[in-house]
């Protein structure tokens, strides 16, 4: 049996947002396995790892192997939504919750898990933008991270398609984001983003019916204002987009040479956000002698909720020592 709890991290030195962190743990823990913390990407928070449908919870698949699993919502996302900046019109404030804030939140979450489980180190998994924040944290605190897994890794590569999506069209160099504190995400936005990653006009080859709606509802439920909008839309911080502008201009914002723990890079073969050349460049610069890069086919950027997700889950469990 797996127990699930929403916990709160309240630390005055981390700003005004009480951080939400979800815990899944089996009743019979395997004490040989370190706890694992998952860190989300730029748009979809913790709930992406724990959808309410059988077979769609990465957290559940890891917990059933005997370990305690945690997933954090960075400030401004999901269970950590409550900040005054996110309540004001977005144009009034700069992009909210970028790299430095995210690393601070990961630091708080890691210390929380270490204390709760009584261990010296945890395993850490990052997804997309979360690979940037997780790698930055791991490089600064290698003694606290037993193993690091980066799913859909981002390092530092020109990606013109992405720059055109997230930057001011009038900024020819696309170096200065002009968006506000947060943006609104509709179901159409979510579907459009996912479809843009698929090398086919038939999305059903990659995903099952009803999954986009399930994902949207999971996040809209966490935003009390979502259903007051037409169409319904949930709030999402824009700080990550500022970080991605730099990364997609070929400017790394973490140092792989500080990653001394065993490290795994994973991506779907069809992913156009996390690319093979960028992953190989990152792999070559990681300091750890224990490192690997694996590709799963078929699979897009959102492999973790696609038909082929079980292969991703198996790779995580194998790397973390539960297979």
In this structure, are residues 130 and 297 in contact, taking their beta carbons and an 8 Å threshold?
no
The predicted-structure confidence for 260-289, as pLDDT tens digits, reads as follows 999 999 999 999 999 999 999 999 999 999
Q: What is the CATH number of the domain that holds 239?
A: 3.40.50.1820
Question: Is the pLDDT at 47 greater than 80, yes or no?
Answer: yes
Nearest 5°: CA angle at 286, between 283 and 291? 65
Burial grade of 219 (CB within 10 A; 0-12, 13-18, 19 or more): buried
Does residue 294 carry a pLDDT above 70? yes
Q: pLDDT value at position 177?
A: 53
Residue % of the chain over a pLDDT of 70: 94
3-state secondary structure of 143: helix
- Span 37-41, average pLDDT: 98
Give tens-digit pLDDT for 107-143.
999 999 999 999 999 999 999 999 999 999 999 999 9
Q: What is the DSSP letter of 149?
A: E
Give me the number of domains the chain comprises.
Answer: 1
Cβ neighbour number for residue 187 with a 10 Å cutoff = 17
User: Given pLDDT bands bounded at 50, 70 and 90, which one contains residue 12?
Assistant: low
244: Cα separation from own chain's centroid: 13
Containing domain of residue 21, as a range? Answer: 2-319
Mean pLDDT across 154-176: 73
**247 close to 73: Cβ distance less than 8 angstroms:** no
pTM check: above 0.85: yes
Q: pLDDT digits over 63-86, tens only?
A: 999 999 999 999 999 999 988 899
pLDDT band at 62 (very low <50, low <70, confident <90, very high): very high
Top-confidence residue, 15 or 59: 59
Task: Report the half-sphere exposure of 123 (CA within 13 A, side-chain side).
Answer: 23
Q: Mind listing the pLDDT tens digit for each residue in 221-245?
A: 999 999 999 999 999 999 999 999 9
Residue 172: its pLDDT value, please?
A: 46
Residue 125: strand pairing partners: 38, 149
288 vs 160 pLDDT, higher one: 288
């Amino acid at each position: 049996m797996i127990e699930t709890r929403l916990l709160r991290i309240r630390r005055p030195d981390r700003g005004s947002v009480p951080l939400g962190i979800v815990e899944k743990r089996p009743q019979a823990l395997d004490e040989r396995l370190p706890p694992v913390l998952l860190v989300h990407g730029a748009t979809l928070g913790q709930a992406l790892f724990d959808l309410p449908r059988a077979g769609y919870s990465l957290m559940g698949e890891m917990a059933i192997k005997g370990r305690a699993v945690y997933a954090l919502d960075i400030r401004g996302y999901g269970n950590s939504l409550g900040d005054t900046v996110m309540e004001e019109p977005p144009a009034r404030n700069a992009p909210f919750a970028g790299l430095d804030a995210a690393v601070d939140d990961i630091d708080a979450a890691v210390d929380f898990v270490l204390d709760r489980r009584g261990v010296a180190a945890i395993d850490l998994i990052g997804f997309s933008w979360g690979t940037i924040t997780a790698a930055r944290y791991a490089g600064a605190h290698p003694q606290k991270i037993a193993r690091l897994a980066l799913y859909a890794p981002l390092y530092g590569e020109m990606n013109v398609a992405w720059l055109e999506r997230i930057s001011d069209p009038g900024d020819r160099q696309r170096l200065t984001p002009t968006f506000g504190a947060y943006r609104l995400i509709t179901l159409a936005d979510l579907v459009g983003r996912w479809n843009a990653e698929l090398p086919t006009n038939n999305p059903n080859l990659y995903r099952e019916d009803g999954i986009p709606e399930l994902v949207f509802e999971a996040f809209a439920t966490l935003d009390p204002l979502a259903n007051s909008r037409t169409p319904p839309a949930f709030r999402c911080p824009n700080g990550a987009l500022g970080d991605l502008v730099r990364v997609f201009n070929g400017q790394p914002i973490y140092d792989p040479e500080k990653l001394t723990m065993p490290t795994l890079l994973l991506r779907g073969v069809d992913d156009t956000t996390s690319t093979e050349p960028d992953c190989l460049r990152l792999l070559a610069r990681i300091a750890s002698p224990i490192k690997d890069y694996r590709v799963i086919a078929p699979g897009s950027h959102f492999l973790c909720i696609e038909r082929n997700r079980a292969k991703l889950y198996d790779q995580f469990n194998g790397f973390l020592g539960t297979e």
